[in-house]
Chains A and B, each alone.
Chain A
Amino acid sequence: MLVRNDLALIESYLSEVIHTPYFDSETLEYVNGLLAIVRAVIASHASYPADFLLGLRRLLWASSKYLSGTTSREVPYEAVFALRKALHEWTTEHFIITTALLEDLEYHFFGLDALQVLRNSVPRLVPPSLNRLLVQMALPKLYRNRPLYSVALYHELGHFVDSHRGVVKMSLLLQPARANPQSEQMHRAEHFCDLLAAGYVGTAMCKLLKHIAPNDPASPSHPSTADRVSLIEQFLAGKRAAMIDLLQDALKSLKMPALTVRFVEPEISASFQNIRPYDIKSERELHGILPAAWSFLEKIGPKDAVPWSSLDDDSIVKTINDLVEKSIRNYSIKEKWNATAGP
């Protein structure tokens, strides 16, 4: 009875969420579909095994965090816009990117898509029309207006690509893990995500790693920061490494795109030096503005000439992040506006 009541609580919460803040139509369709299933399960809960109800509760509880974050008032639209462009290069499936804002200095990907799990476990519950995949990721709340730090979300996107297509699992078939299989699998996944991210944001991925986890040693789940940075640098330099070759072979076996550099760093100095957003000209530049801005930020300080001499350190970091955010938003606005041209 209490589990059924929990499901009813979550159903009530999600119903409130979709009727209060803003929702895009795709997410609305997803949540409405999910709610219809939850209501059906609640109505005949006695006919479901207890394990199923417990699992569903856990799944919905977690998913509601990402779904409500996406409908909340502080979605990092600019980062999500760029991530959508990147993900289109890795899957032809329809997807929705959701974001949760965390109080902690932490990024993560949550791999259990409620509808996908239900589709696999009780197919009759999920109508075929509900075919969108949910990409659920989280970022620190304090970084919601700091697009330079959103480069970590490209790494989290890698986790989606891996879980969706089984890249690391394929690598294990090609080259089984040895000493500690579980840990090696997780380390391979982290390297894959780092390399996928570096393909879009280059050395900015290394800079962020050094910023948020400067001296982290290897753990069961993660390689050391030094090893991660080293592999990214080898990849960007076009050098060969056993891990890179293995992951490329896995992608090739899955007939997926190769890990490669997919960005162009635009020349932003003239615009940013004049405190103006840069006019992004292509999707390659859309991603490339992030490493370009990281490099720009490293060169600028209050000791420089006007305008920087009128700004303190904190204002400089804010201003450069804002210029990146506005550059990306302007690109998305123009794309949307131009898409509506004509009769």
Chain B
Amino acid sequence: MQLLVRNEIKASLANDDEDSLFIDPLLEEDQVGAVTIDLRLGYDFLVSVLTRKPFVAIYRENDYRSISSYFQNTRRELGDRFVLYPNQVVLTTTLEYLSLPSDVYADIMTRSSYNRLGISISTMLQPGFRGCAPIELFNHGNNAVELVVGSRMFQARLTRLDAKARYLDGRPRKYYGDVRPTVSRASHDKDLDRLYKA
């Protein structure tokens, strides 16, 4: 495995091959750093809200309440503000749509400026991923933080594998090509049927 550096990232972005790295929109060239790419905060949000049911159930039993009902959708435009409150889960995406080569995976992290505000995320995109990168925001601090749609909040670190690993390997994918945040589909995991009977 090999960490991709600036020249390799730029070369892959400039390549027209269908298995090259693709990021759109890439508003500034200097988003590509020495070993990372800066990514921006997207414009669609799913904000967690309290409901009368005291917990999110994963088993789809009689009193099951859809996971989406624990979230409220809100949309913004470039430059608009979004307030992230302490201890609140907010689902969003990167502004950029990403398409990863079949031999490259990405780690998405918060940039240090936002880590220092108490906001940290860590997620991984598989080789061949398509979509706006899903982001699960959480404010660990004591103060609400006003975020700006389109600001450089995240960074991607790209790693090349020794072999290709197709994202679509014949299995249906849960979050393929998503352009807006999607609530957890944990309750759709097939293993749950067997676990329920266990």
A interface, CB within 8 angstroms of B: 21-22, 24, 73-75, 77, 145, 270, 274-277, 279, 306-307, 309-312, 315, 319, 322-323, 325-326, 329-330, 332-334, 336-337
Given A306-B168, A310-B173 in contact, is the A336-B79 Cβ separation under 8 Å?
yes
Partner of A145 from B77, B99, B180 at Cβ < 8 Å: B180
Enumerate chain A residues within 8 angstroms of B171, measured Cβ to Cβ: 310
Q: Contacts A77-B75, A277-B97 hold; do A333 and B178 have CB atoms under 8 A apart?
A: no
Cβ of B63 under 8 Å from chain A: no
A326 to B132, Cβ gap below 8 A?
A: yes
Taking the closest CB of chain A, its distance from the CB of B114, in whole angstroms, is: 21
Contact A276 B22 (CB under 8 A): yes
* Bound CA–CA A337/B28 (angstroms): 10
Are B168's CB and A307's CB within 8 A? Answer: yes
Q: Which residues in chain B, 138-177, are within 8 Å of chain A measured between CB atoms?
A: 150, 166, 168, 170-173, 176-177
A333 touches B168 (CB 8 A): no
Q: How many A-B residue pairs have CB under 8 A?
A: 82
Could you tell me if A22 and B76 are in contact, using CB atoms closer than 8 angstroms?
Answer: yes
Selected from B72, B78, B97, B172, the residue in CB contact (under 8 A) with A337 is: B78
Q: Which residues of A contact B179 (CB under 8 A)?
A: 277, 322-323, 325-326, 329
Q: A276-B22, A307-B168, A310-B172 are in contact. Are A336 and B97 (CB under 8 A)?
A: no
Establish whether residues B176 and A311, one from each chain, have CB atoms under 8 Å apart when the complex forms: yes
CA separation between A337 and B132, bound complex, in Å?
19
A89 to B169 CA separation, bound complex (whole angstroms): 47
B177 close to A319 (CB less than 8 A): yes
Write 12 A-B pairs (CB below 8 A) sorted by A numbering. Answer: A22-B75, A22-B76, A74-B73, A275-B99, A306-B166, A307-B130, A307-B176, A326-B132, A329-B43, A336-B77, A336-B78, A337-B27
Complex Cα distance, B173 from A332, in Å, reads 29
**Which residues in B have their C-beta under 8 angstroms from that of A75?**
75
B168 near A274 (CB under 8 angstroms)?
no
Smallest beta-carbon distance B170→chain A, Å: 7
Bound-complex Cα distance A337 to B79 (A): 9
B77 to chain A, nearest CB (A): 7
Provide the B167-196 mask, 1 if CB < 8 A to any CB of A, else 0.
Answer: 010111100111110000000000000000
In this complex, what residue of B is CB-closest to A337? B27
Chain A, Cβ-Cβ closest to B129:
A275
How many Å lie between the Cα of A279 and that of B23 in the bound state? 11
Interface string of B1-24 (1 = CB under 8 A from A): 000000000000000001000101
CA distance A334 to B76 in the complex (A): 15
Further 8 A-B residue pairs, CB within 8 A, beyond A75-B75, A333-B27, A333-B150: A22-B80, A73-B73, A274-B99, A277-B179, A310-B170, A311-B172, A311-B176, A326-B132
Name A74's contact: one of B75, B78, B168, B177 (CB within 8 Å): B75
